[in-house]
């Protein structure tokens, strides 16, 4: 079933509802694909000049569509887009399957990644052994998201590389990119540092090396600032009578960090945080990433990474904010950088904060490239505006499980409603094979507010428009030196001036 993004825009917020009703009345019975694609394109194109915007996604423009809350967009603001690539955690068995069915470019990218993995790096087919992504295939991984580290790495990287290709094919232009942990692999691809071959090679090196230290520890997300987290770690280590074993693995925002280390100490941290009513969530990973515990796999990683970097790296086409080094990325994303990405803490919060401060909160929007949004809260805590493309199904709220196709169009609609303009709606509304065969849609009359500002009778209008009396210019007030000789000394620029004392 085809879905369409319908953007309803008006000159003022109160006009949104009658304009939507007029459009619905005119097109609610239309099911022709070409007409609906043309209508979607025409509405979006006209909406660029309107400050009040709302949108909905559906198979037809029916009266029961759930339109978003109308927002007012400042036409003088032109925010840029920053892609944000998540790390491990959001993987799930249904990831990318509907996108593979609807968008050939997504499925082709996933298959190409798998071909590179097998043909260039001599690994077993990820798609065959897991059943992920391919339509009508049964997933062979558990639904609890606790997968072998190799499958986690490949699933995240394949999904993100394919999403980058899909975003480009839909005509969405981005200016910046940020990657969280393993997300910097796909960030390198999006920015032009890596080819798809290099990115898959780095993923293979990382997956192979990580497998050597799988089970070396655990990780937990903690809703506390950096200093409070350090104090809690100090307390736990003192109670355990050890000098080390817990580290801050990521600084995600001014209010959030990730802790990694020994599994028993992580469990102790979880209990203490829960007792103090601090948000804490143990992550579904089997390694203590971004800590000294990863040093044991450095040799294995570098050995395999040399093949991935055999052809070097490319010239970036956009700017990237590093989460390894503070600030804009100023060095090559080579083997050394990739190892630092594994072993050093993730400075995600600082990266987002730097972009928000440099561009201004109204001049940049963030789009999370992930199987499920896990970084949006962190971005919001840093003052940014975050959007996502897809989400994993939630068994607790089946009515909200609209599917990846629907969610993708919703995400694009959210970007547009936030004032983001660099969306090529001709490509977005084209056929799956790229044909832009749009036709002219006859839109209903725009619902202008034609009420009069006031009611006025003919006699009232005559009184309002008649010539006004000029009492201070009557003949009895006219004077000159002849009529009033005393004014002879009160002449300025040949004009008599009547003294105030008179």
Tell me: the pLDDT tens digits for 391-425? 988 877 766 678 899 999 999 999 999 999 899 99
Q: Is CATH 3.40.50.300 what the domain over 1-78+410-469 is classified as, yes or no?
A: no
pLDDT, position 88: 84
Chain-centroid distance of CA 175 in Å reads 12
Residue found under tokens 């940020």: 178
- pTM for the model stands at 0.86
Pairing label, strands 491-492, 246-253:
unpaired
Tokens standing for residue 373: 């949004």
Q: Answer whether residue 492 shows pLDDT above 80.
A: no
- One fold for 1-78+410-469 and 218-282: yes
Q: How far is CA 132 from the centre of its chain?
A: 25
- Exposure of 80 by Cβ count < 10 A (0-12 exposed, 13-18 middle, 19+ buried)? middle
223: its two tokens = 């809703």
C-alpha span between 439 and 451 (Å, rounded): 34
Given a cut of 80, whether residue 476 has pLDDT beyond it is no
Q: Residues 364, 384: contact at Cβ < 8 Å?
A: yes
Domain spans, the chain = 1-78+410-469, 81-213+292-389, 218-282
pLDDT of 449 > 80? The answer is no
Q: Is the pLDDT of residue 451 over 70?
A: no
- Per DSSP bridges, beta strands 364-369 and 386-388 are parallel
CATH assignment, 81-213+292-389: 3.40.366.10
Yes or no: domain 218-282 corresponds to CATH 3.30.70.250: yes
């Amino acid at each position: 079933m085809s879905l369409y993004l319908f953007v309803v825009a008006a000159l003022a917020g109160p006009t949104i509802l009658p304009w939507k009703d007029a459009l619905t009345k005119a097109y609610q019975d239309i099911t022709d694909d070409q007409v609906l694609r043309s209508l979607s394109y025409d509405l979006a194109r006209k909406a660029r000049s309107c400050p009040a915007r709302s949108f909905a996604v559906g198979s037809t423009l029916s009266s029961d569509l759930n339109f978003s809350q109308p927002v007012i967009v400042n036409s003088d603001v032109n925010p840029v887009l920053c892609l944000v690539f998540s790390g491990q955690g959001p993987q799930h068995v249904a990831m990318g399957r509907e996108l593979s069915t609807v968008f050939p470019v997504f499925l082709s990218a996933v298959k190409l990644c798998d071909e590179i993995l097998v043909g260039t790096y001599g690994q077993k087919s990820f798609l065959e052994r897991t059943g992920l992504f391919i339509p009508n295939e049964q997933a062979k991984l558990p639904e609890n998201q606790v997968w072998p580290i190799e499958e986690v790495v490949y699933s995240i990287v394949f999904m993100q590389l394919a999403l980058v290709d899909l975003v480009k094919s839909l005509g969405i232009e981005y200016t910046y990119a940020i990657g969280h942990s393993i997300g910097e692999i796909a960030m390198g691809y999006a920015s032009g540092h890596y080819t798809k071959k290099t990115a898959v090679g780095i993923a293979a090196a990382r997956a192979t090396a990580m497998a050597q230290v799988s089970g070396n520890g655990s990780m937990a997300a903690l809703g506390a600032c950096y200093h409070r987290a350090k104090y809690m770690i100090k307390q736990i280590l003192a109670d355990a009578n050890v000098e080390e074993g817990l580290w801050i693995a990521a600084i995600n925002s001014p209010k959030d960090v990730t802790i990694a280390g020994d599994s028993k100490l992580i469990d102790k941290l979880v209990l203490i945080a829960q007792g103090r009513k601090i948000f804490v969530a143990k992550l579904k990973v089997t390694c203590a990433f971004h800590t000294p515990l990863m040093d044991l796999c450095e040799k294995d990683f570098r050995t395999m990474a040399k093949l991935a970097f055999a052809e070097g790296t490319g010239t970036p086409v956009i700017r990237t904010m590093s989460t390894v080094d503070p600030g804009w990325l100023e060095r090559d994303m080579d083997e050394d950088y990739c190892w630092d990405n594994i072993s050093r803490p993730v400075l995600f919060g600082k990266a987002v904060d730097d972009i928000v401060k440099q561009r201004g909160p109204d001049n940049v929007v963030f789009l999370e490239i992930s199987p499920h949004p896990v970084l949006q809260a962190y971005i919001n805590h840093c003052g940014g505006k975050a959007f996502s493309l897809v989400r994993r199904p939630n068994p607790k709220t089946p009515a909200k499980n609209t599917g990846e196709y629907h969610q993708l169009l919703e995400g694009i609609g959210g970007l547009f409603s936030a004032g983001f303009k660099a969306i090529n709606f001709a490509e977005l509304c084209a056929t799956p094979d790229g044909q832009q065969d749009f036709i002219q849609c006859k839109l209903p009359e725009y619902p202008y507010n034609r009420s009069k500002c006031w009611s006025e009778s003919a006699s009232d209008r005559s009184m309002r428009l008649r010539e006004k009396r000029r009492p201070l210019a009557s003949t009895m007030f006219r004077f000159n030196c002849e009529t009033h000789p005393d004014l002879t000394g009160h002449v300025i620029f040949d004009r008599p001036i009547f003294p105030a004392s008179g």
